[in-house]
Structure 1
Amino acid sequence: MSSGTVEPKHDATEVVDTEVLKEKNIHQSEILVNQDLMINAFDGENREHETGTWQAVKENPMACLWAFIFCFTIVMESFDMFLNGNFVALTAFKQKYGVNVEGSGYTIPTKWQSALFQSGQCGAFIGVFLAGPVTNRLGYRWTTILALIFMNATIFISFFADSLAALVIGQAFEGVPWGFFIANSPAYASEIVPLSLRSTVTATLQMSWSIGNIIVAAATYGYQNRNDQWSWRVPLALQWIFPTPLLILVFLAPESPWWLVRRGRKEQALRSIRRLSRKSTTNAEETLAVIERTVEIEAQMGGAPSLLDLLKGTDLRRTLITCLMYASQNFAGNLIANQATFFFEQAGMSTNFSFQLNLINSCLQFVANAGSWFLGAWFGRRTIYLWGTATNMTLLVILGICASVTQSTSTNYAQACLGVIISFVYAGTLGPITYTVIAETSSVRLRALSTGVGRAAYYVAEIPMIYLASQMLNPTGWNLAGKCGYIWGGTALVCWVGAYFFLPELKHRSYREADILFNRRISARKFKSTVIDVKDNE
């Protein structure tokens, strides 16, 4: 250079990227009238429809990795939820905090048993309502990072608790970050992967539940023969193995390009898209155009998102579907899975064998979760949910019948086996597919709020159901054992009927197509057959 200054060196790709970013960093409203950008959006959406599952995995390996990491935060809620279920079956824990019931030995009173389960859910109920507004402001990454820091701190309360009351308080505080994790994970995962992978990555949420259950089952089985406080304090301490490594990984993760575009940060959104895939610059531009188009169409329907928007117009229908799907997880055998060890004991199994059976049950659930990846790729969401619920409904009634006849060793084993099968069916069908439906049903603009409110509906249903489940199984309560299958079979029937009339099929539908189907008020049973043109901007 004549001036004698040295120009900084730039990679050729960076120069091209910068020019492209400047060219595309326009106001979003222009995309609907800019012919070149609309062609990009058309091509991008058509490409997503044409991309198969395995091809999408090969093209987007990092998107799959980051989606799994965010979904793995759910392992902490799962760990603690199942840990409480195992505490009430631990001999040392029952002798320390329980009461002696004639004919049943020491047992945790029903009120404290249900309180241990309910306190964390009450905290999570608060967390899910905080998650939406905080995420809209800070993004998925920083919201999750703050929740992980808080999780690390609250574990101290539970670990050092020296009474049931203190343990209940500790669980309540731990529940708050759970709410952030469960609200953000399905939303983030569904936004960063291609259309054909949405079912697979959101199904890993259920797998995280199984992983947490396996760790708890192994830990409590290993320590259940101890007669001191470490039989439950060591499993509590194991909670610390999760937050810090996850915090580091989440810090390194890219932010959702959908959230970035909604905040007007399209340059960062394009960089995020490139970090998530192996696509060329042209394909990244097409993906950005698809996002901008959908965000702009939704923006024209309303301004800044608020909780009240969830109750307006067609968003009310979407909110109700999300809430009902989440709540239904409590009514088709899930609560038996959550208290599996205690259920096996009440079914007549010895304490040692109950813990062994719970570990087997947890591993089988993990296998079922892996199987759900293939089911989600082959069958529709609606089909999987209806058949899974119908199967569990039938098994629950059979469970009730086994518990009603004259009891023997054979009927006890039959009840225990049915409990395992019911948990397996739940973990392979309606459990994971529910997370997929929730992630797909809400509009992009309201997703962070919708997933939070939907999970709140889950807790509203779960908190009284936990008390009911404890009351049904506990010797100090109704002592129904397997007869509870009649009650859960009846609630599963209600879920099946509701899903048949109100659950739409959103497999192979882009977020733009889902918006149009809801705006046209298409019947749930006609979602699959309705044709949407790629040029429609409703």
Structure 2
Amino acid sequence: MPTVLTESKPEAQHIDEHQADDKNGHRPDIRGDQELLADAFQGENREHEMGMWEAFKEYPMACLWAFTMSFTIVMESFDMFLNGNFVALPAFAEKYGVYVEGSGYTIPTRWQSALFQSGQCGAFVGVFLAGPITNRLGYRWTTILALILMNATIFISFFADSLTVLVIGQAFEGVPWGLFIANSPAYASEIVPLALRGACTATLQMSWSIGGIIVAAVTYAYNQRSDQWAWRVPLALQWLFPTPLLILILLAPESPWWLVRHGRSKEALRSIERLGRKSKQNSHEALAMIERTVEIETQMGGSPSLLDLFKGTDLRRTIITCLIYAGQNFAGNLIANQATFFFEQAGMSTNFAFQLSLINSCLGFIANAGSWFLTAWFGRRTIYLYGTATNITLLIILGVCASVEQTKATNYAQACLGIIISFVFAGTLGPISYTIISETSSVRLRALSTGVGRAAYYVAEIPMIYLSSQMLNPTGWNLAGKCGYIWGGTATVCFILAWLFLPELKHRSFREIDILFNRRVPARKFKSTVIQVQENE
């Protein structure tokens, strides 16, 4: 480990000099100060040497705040799974559906699609608002405003007395979802040390599973009811989340990376000290490392704008982010989002379909926890490729099971394969996608990049939701498990694109990632390329 050059000064004087900002709050160019550079080298070396367990012990509060911010995703997850379960609720289908001979009351395909798509359309607006608002207000205040908006918009859905009003309510709820999903991976990746980046960003998928578990449990408990409370009680439960999260996030520190980017180094130092059990000297080294990376990026690009995402090497980073985000919709994930309805179409009874949906959500949670260990043992690229290949195989088998003569055994086989596909996604593709997305973008453009990447997700998801509903609905194509052929084909495209373009970012600091992209290193050579701690470009 390099030695920090501080022997000639008392520690207090050394700290004061490091904190010396100019009158605008900006610190001097760190690359011209050998002592500050030594601190930056030391800070980056410490992160590289730190193991996952050591990092967790030294930065417990960083983990807590990363998980708190990630937990805002529960609200989007809750609504997505809730809409998927509404179409399977007998009372809801009888109230708003049409009678189909042999299938009973069913929500028409166009309304199923509208229920699923309206929230995503609102979220599409939200993710584009997220970047500019976050760049101006910071991650904390943007999320706080979104939580206030969430509380207000739930009223529309809860008091809706028609599918039209419910669809409108979902669209308005979608706007804060977009703010949550754009900010959460960026904030989590910026406040935790290098060793924890994979695990802490992977908790976003765990939050998604928690939302699914709550919905599955509530709808299972209420699916026997024949009145309006079968769906109004689950809608009302959305109010459980925003206010407690708002209070917690008010207490959370702002990202030190965001503060440094806005010339607020002293506040950034206080945030670093709040995030870990570190000495002042070590906090100083972390701050110097952040300032060095921010200074390098500022010299290359200046003030961030949406257009910067599509210029030079940032275009490559934006394409990777968009492909990984959009790819979540093409590897069987939509089966998980409509699990209860899928199980019904696979031949299960309504009550048993709800039971399987609850089991599916709980298994997803276990898979998410397992992903923490996978991120410690394997690289991002490895997890993504093997997870995708596994699901391709399972989806093709699902299609085969649905194509042969249907018996009770084939029905159960389809249901089990649906659960296994969701489990694989929840342990590999789902969580590692958030890690890749949070690491790929430059620090300077991160708030904008995660927003645009999520927008690509919605651009892909909105038509795929319609396609998924069309494939499963008795009033549509009624394919049931044969949809595995289609999802298997789209997952194969995801695998090929990832093999060609997805780089390995594990064990790389944000400075190293910047250098690798700026040097235009091919994706398959990222892992083997050596970047020295002294290099700036």
TM-score range, shorter chain: over 0.9
| Cα offset, 1:30, TM superposition | 2.0
Letter in 1 for 2:480: A
Q: 1:117-516 counterparts in 2 under 5 A?
A: 117-516=116-515
User: Could you say if the C-alpha distance between residues 236 and 27 of structure 1 is closer, same or farther in structure 2, counting changes exceeding 3 Å?
Assistant: closer
Q: For residues 361 and 237 of structure 1, what CA distance do their matches in structure 2 show?
A: 23
Give the AA of the match of 1:528: K
Which amino acid counterpart does residue 253 of structure 2 have in structure 1? Answer: P
Q: Secondary structure at the match of 1:100?
A: strand
- Residue 23 of structure 1 aligns with an amino acid whose one-letter code is A
What's the offset of the Cα at 1:38? 0.3
**C-alpha deviation, 1:456, in angstroms:** 0.1
Contact 2:329-2:460 at 8 Å conserved across structures: yes
Q: Are the equivalent residues in 1 in contact too, given 2:157–2:169 (CA < 8 A)?
A: yes
Deviation at 1:302, TM superposition (A): 1.3
CA shift at 1:15, angstroms? 7.8
Please list the CA deviations of residues 166-206 of structure 1 after superposition, one character each: whole Å capped at 9, or x if unmatched: 00000000000000000000000000000010000000000
Give the Cα–Cα distance (whole angstroms) in 2 for the partners of residues 278 and 104 of structure 1. 60
In the alignment, structure 1 segments of 5+ residues that lack a partner are 1-13
Q: State the Cα distance separating 1:16 from its structure 2 match.
A: 7.3
Q: Secondary structure at the match of 1:106?
A: strand
1:411-445 CA-partner distances (Å, limit 9, x unpaired): 00000000000000000001100000000000000
Query: In the alignment, does 2:79 pair up with 1:88?
Result: no
Letter in 1 for 2:20: E
5+ residue gaps, structure 2, are 1-10
Alpha-carbon distance in 2 for matches of 1:302, 1:102 = 62
Deviations along 1:291-321, one digit per CA (max 9) or x if unpaired, are 0000000001111100000000000000000
Who is 2:106 aligned against? 107
Secondary structure (helix, strand or coil) at the match of 2:138 reads: helix
Match of 1:19 among 2, 16, 20: 16
| 1: CA distance, partners of 2:391 / 2:411 | 19
Deviation, 1:19, is 3.0
Show the counterpart of 1:530. 529
Deviations 1:478-511 (A, max 9, x none): 0000000000000000000000000000000000
> Which residue identity does 1:521 align to in structure 2?
R
Q: Find the residue that maps to 1:23 and give its secondary structure.
A: coil
Per-residue deviation, 1:23: 3.4
Q: Distance in 1 between matches of 2:353 and 2:14?
A: 59
**Is contact 2:26–2:264 with CA below 8 Å preserved after alignment?**
no
Rounded to whole Å, the distance in 2 between the matches of 1:160 and 1:23 is 55
How far apart, CA to CA, are the structure 2 residues paired with 1:24 and 1:115? 53
2: CA distance between counterparts of 1:171 and 1:15? Answer: 55
- For 2:224 and 2:494, the matched residues in 1 are separated by 40
Q: Which residue identity is paired with 1:442?
A: S
Report SS of the residue matched to 1:305: coil
CA contact under 8 A between 1:28 and 1:296: conserved in structure 2? no
SS at match of 2:356: helix
Aligned to 1:4: none
Distance 1:56 1:467 in 2: 44
CA distance in 2, matches of 1:127, 1:40: 39
Contact 2:327–2:457 (8 Å) recurs in 1:
yes
Distance, in Å, in 1 between the alignment partners of 2:446 and 2:135 is 9
Q: TM-score, normalised by structure 2?
A: 0.97
**2:6 equivalent in structure 1:** none
Contact 1:403 1:481 in 2 (8 A): yes
Contact 1:151 1:177 in 2 (8 A): yes
What amino acid is the match of 2:123? A
Q: Distance in 1 between matches of 2:486 and 2:430?
A: 19
| Cα contact 2:18–2:284 (8 A) shared by 1 | no
- Kindly state the Cα deviation for residue 406 of structure 1 after the two structures are TM-superposed: 0.1
RMSD (CA atoms): 1.3
Structure 2 counterpart of 1:5: none
Identity across the alignment (%): 80
| Separation in 1, partners of 2:379, 2:461 | 27
Query: CA–CA distance in 2 between the matches of 1:315 and 1:22?
Result: 31
- What is the count of residue pairs matched by the alignment? 526
Contact 1:326 1:434 (C-alpha < 8 Å) held by counterparts: yes
Name the residue aligned to 2:59.
60
CA distance in 2, matches of 1:512, 1:18: 24
Q: CA deviation at 1:22?
A: 3.9
